[in-house]
Amino acid sequence: MSEKQISEILGFIQRRFPMDCNWTNGNCWWFASILSARFPYLSVYYLPVEGHFIAGALNTYFDWTGQIFPEETPILFKELEKADELWAYRLYRDCVL
């Protein structure tokens, strides 16, 4: 991912989301979804140990705090849906609905 793209994403986060609306604690799915909708080259990922959704592409990841560097391997949510439908359903039920 280019520095220009990273800067554009960080600027968007700072401009559009100055207030924390539990974006890292309860609404992380929604924030990752907003970022992936605004920047189509980003996808939603899940951090299973942390229990946190993030947006990312090409080993570059973001949440409400900005660019993040996960200590665990993020799982692409679309791949998780294919690999374990039950787990994906529970995450969707508990975090989205």
pLDDT in tens, 26-82: 999 999 999 999 999 999 999 999 999 999 999 999 999 999 999 999 999 999 999
Chain centroid to CA 70: how far? 11
For residue 77 the two structure tokens come to 């949510």
Residue-by-residue DSSP string for 42-61? -EEEEETTTTEEEEEETTEE
Tokens of 57: 């592409």
